[in-house]
A and B are shown apart, each in its own frame.
Chain A
Amino acid sequence: EAQVTQNPRYLITVTGKKLTVTCSQNMNHEYMSWYRQDPGLGLRQIYYSMNVEVTDKGDVPEGYKVSRKEKRNFPLILESPSPNQTSLYFCASSFGGISAYGYTFGSGTRLTVV
């Protein structure tokens, strides 16, 4: 089944403890992206990647890192999480941004930083 898989689905952590949220897709998509969703603010893009070893900042990149060493994986790294990074996170992938070929989201990761 074609899908984007995020792990974990839920995570509670403490301020300053490094964490990684994994994202993997099995559709051979070039484009991958991370979003955070907060009440009243919609979906905001954190980072995106057009292909392997190519990453770019989105609208809210501060406090986050990403890497794209393989086409299928696009992990999101929080080196020193803070409470303002408590949010619902989504990974997405496609053949090239939004197109007729679809834009597939993972199931989301709900992160709480205390």
Chain B
Amino acid sequence: GIQVEQSPPDLILQEGANSTLRCNFSDSVNNLQWFHQNPWGQLINLFYIPSGTKQNGRLSATTVATERYSLLYISSSQTTDSGVYFCAVMGDKIIFGKGTRLHILP
């Protein structure tokens, strides 16, 4: 089946810093989604991005489907950005990566 790998597994940054989270997948996929799990455990949709680039405020995402990776950019980090970021891909099944845990220090 499709393998999804996220990097880095953990990231600690000072408030105001920028970060790039990566999601690699091993085969062609139909869809890709980024999620944020906040410190209270709630999972929230960020971007549906099977290809191309999207932006929403300080967050943006790019997927290069032909090279099988997606990037999530967070600019000017805030403490509320802390949590775990997951990417998920959909081939014949939905597969989640193991996530990147982000800590933003005040």
Contact = CB atoms under 8 A, between A and B. Distances in A.
Interface string B88-100: 1110011011110
A104 to B, nearest CB: 7
Taking each of A41, A58, A103, which has the highest tally of chain B beta carbons within 10 Å of its own beta carbon?
Answer: A103
A87 B98 CA distance: 15
A103 B45 contact: yes
A8 interface: no
Contacts of B96: 35, 42-45
Contact of A98 (B44, B48, B97, B99): B48
Q: Which 7 A-B pairs have the closest CB atoms?
A: A42-B98, A105-B43, A98-B31, A98-B90, A43-B96, A98-B33, A97-B90
Given A44-B96, A98-B32, A103-B45, 8 more contacts: A42-B97, A45-B94, A90-B43, A97-B90, A98-B89, A99-B48, A102-B48, A103-B35
Contacts of B98: 40-42
Interface of B: 31-33, 35, 41-45, 48, 86, 88-90, 93-94, 96-99
Interface of A: 33, 35, 40-45, 48, 58, 88, 90, 92, 97-100, 102-105, 107-108
A107 B96 CA distance: 18
Contacts of B44: 105
Tell me the interface secondary structure of chain B in the complex: strand
Nearest to A104: B45
A113 B90 CA distance: 32
Contacts of B31: 97-99
Contact of A43 (B32, B42, B86): B86
A97 B94 contact: yes
25 contacts: A33-B94, A40-B98, A42-B96, A42-B99, A43-B88, A45-B93, A48-B94, A88-B41, A97-B94, A98-B32, A98-B33, A98-B48, A98-B94, A99-B31, A99-B48, A102-B45, A103-B35, A103-B88, A104-B45, A105-B35, A105-B42, A105-B43, A105-B44, A108-B42, A108-B43
